[in-house]
Amino acid sequence: MRYAAVAICGVLVGIGGVYLSVAQTAQFIPNMSAGKGYMALAALIFGKWRPFTAMGACLLFGFLDALAIRMQGVSIGDFPIPVQAIEAIPYVLTVFLLAGFIGKAVAPKAIGVPYTKERE
C-alpha cells in the first residue's frame, strides 16, 4: 500500500511540475512553485488528513490564489493596494485558518515509521 502511494504521489507531482513549467509559464524558472508545497501541506492538515476534506481545502486555497491574481491592481477609492499585499492574501488566510479553526488534527500513527515487511 505504501509503495503504491509513493508511486502515485510521484506521478502526480511530476504532472504538477510539467503543468507549471509547460502550461502555465512555458518556461522553467527557479522557485516557480513559490510556496505551493506549503499550501498543499496546510491543506492536508486543514483537511484533518482525510482525502475528501483535503481536496476541499485544496479547492479553497486554489480559489484564494486565483482571487489574489484577479485582484492585482485593485484600489480602494484613491488608495491603490500594493500588489505584494494582494499576493500575500492566500498565505495569510492559510495561517489564519490553521491557527484558528483547525482544532486538533491528529496525524496518522504510521507517519515517520519505517516500513518493515512482516515475515511469517
- Whether the pLDDT of residue 68 is over 70: the answer is yes
The per-residue DSSP string of 36-98 comes to HHHHHHHHHHHTTT-HHHHHHHHHHHHHHHHHHHHTTT-EETTEEPPHHHHHTHHHHHHHHHH
pLDDT band at 58 (very low <50, low <70, confident <90, very high): confident
Residue 120 confidence (pLDDT): 66
Residue 103 confidence (pLDDT): 64
Task: Give mean pLDDT, residues 101-120.
Answer: 73
- Whether the pLDDT of residue 102 is over 70: the answer is no
What percent of the chain lies above the pLDDT cut of 90? 8
